[in-house]
Amino acid sequence: MSIKVRYFASLKESVGRSEDDLTFTGLLTVNEVWNRANLGKPLPGNILAAVNMEYVEFDNIVKDGDEVAFFPPVTGG
Amino acid sequence: MSIKISTEAFDPYQEIQDYQNARTGNIGAVGATSIFIGTMRDFNEGAAVKGMTLEYYPGMTEKQLERIITEAQQQWRFIDCLVIHRVGNILPNESIVLVAVWSSHRGDAFDASRYIMEALKSKAPFWKKELLVTENERWVANNTNGYNTPEIPG
C-alpha cells in the first residue's frame, strides 16, 4: 500500500520536509504512519492528525491511497 | 454561501458591497447583517510585530470551513454568508479574516457569525508565523478560546 504523508507549519520545519511517500504492507494506524515515516522520533504532544483532509484520532487505520497529515494546533483568524 | 482564500490583500468592506450587489435576490428577506473583520495587529504577546506569514492546507482548509458553515446552518436560520481568509505574507493593519452573515433577524446573524468565527479559530487549518521588529521569527503556538479569555491589550 502507498500513502502520502504531509507536514505543516512548525512541524514541517522541525521534521525538515513537507511530505513523504510511504509504501508498506499490512495495516497501519495514523500513529504507526508517524513512526514509520519518522523512524520512531517521538510525536510532539500537541500535534493533530488528518486523513484525507478530515480530523482523525491517532488509532485510525489508514487505507491505500490515503493522504495523512500532521500539524500543530491551528492559529488562523 | 461563499468561502474565499485570498493570497492578496483584500478590502473587506468592498467585498461585502460586491457580494451584496451580486445577490439582489436577497433584498427584502435580509433584515440583519453581522460582520466580523479580523485585522493584523503590530503587537502580540509582549512583542512588536512587523509582519506575518499565514500558511494553510489547500483543500482541507476549504473543506473545514464548509463544514463549519453547514454546522452553523443547522443551528441558526440565515440567508447567506461570506467567509474570506488571507494567506501568505501580511502586514499590520491588513485584513486577515472576514465573516459576514445575512439573516432576517439579528439573533441568527450575531450567533451564526460568532459561531463561524470561533470554529474557524479552533478548527480551520491556518498557521501564523510572526516576524518581530527584532527580526526574530516565531510561530503562534495556539489560539485562545474567544468565549472564555478576552484578550487584554498589552
DSSP reduced 3-state for B136: coil
- For B36, residues 6+ apart whose C-beta sits below 8 A from its C-beta are B97, B98, B99, B100, B113, B114, B117
pLDDT of residue B148: 81
In chain A, which residues have their Cβ closer than 8 Å to the Cβ of B127?
8-10, 71-72, 74-76
Q: Judge: B85–A46 Cβ closer than 8 Å, yes or no.
A: no
CATH number assigned to the domain covering B2-21+30-134:
3.90.1170.40
How do the domains of chain B map onto residue ranges?
2-21+30-134
User: What CATH number did the domain enclosing A23 receive?
Assistant: 3.10.20.30
User: From the CB of residue B99, how many other CB atoms can be counted at a distance below 10 Å?
Assistant: 28
Q: Label residues B103-117 b or e (16+ Cβ within 10 Å = b).
A: beeeebbbbbbbbbb
The interface pTM score, or ipTM, of the predicted complex is 0.96
The answer to whether residue A41 sits within a structural domain is yes
pTM for the predicted model, two decimal places:
0.94
- pLDDT tens column, B34-69: 999 999 999 999 999 999 999 999 999 999 999 999
Indicate if the pLDDT at residue A37 is higher than 90: yes
Total of domains in chain A: 1
- For B121, residues 6+ apart whose C-beta sits below 8 A from its C-beta are A74, A76, A77, B143, B146
- pLDDT tens column, B5-26: 999 999 999 999 999 999 988 9
Q: Judge: A76–B97 Cβ closer than 8 Å, yes or no.
A: yes
Distance CA B127, CA B117 (A): 15
- What is the average pLDDT score of chain B? 95
Distance CA B106, CA A26 (A): 54
Q: Which residue has the higher pLDDT, B10 or B154?
A: B10
Distance CA A9, CA A69 (A): 11
Indicate if the pLDDT at residue A40 is higher than 90: no
| A56: confidence class by pLDDT, cuts 50, 70, 90 | very high
The answer to whether residue A77 sits within a structural domain is no
Indicate if the pLDDT at residue B147 is higher than 90: no
Task: Give me the domain span that covers residue A58.
Answer: 2-71
Torsion angle of C-alpha atoms B118, B100, A50, A62, degrees rounded to 10: 130
pLDDT of residue B110: 98
pLDDT of residue B149: 64
Mean of pLDDT values over A36-44: 92
Q: Judge: A76–B143 Cβ closer than 8 Å, yes or no.
A: yes
Mean of pLDDT values over B115-133: 98
Residue in A6, A50, A74 nearest the CB of B143: A74
pLDDT of residue B153: 65
Handedness of CA B38, B40, B41, B46 (dihedral sign): positive
Dig out the grid coordinates for B44 from the structure: 502580540
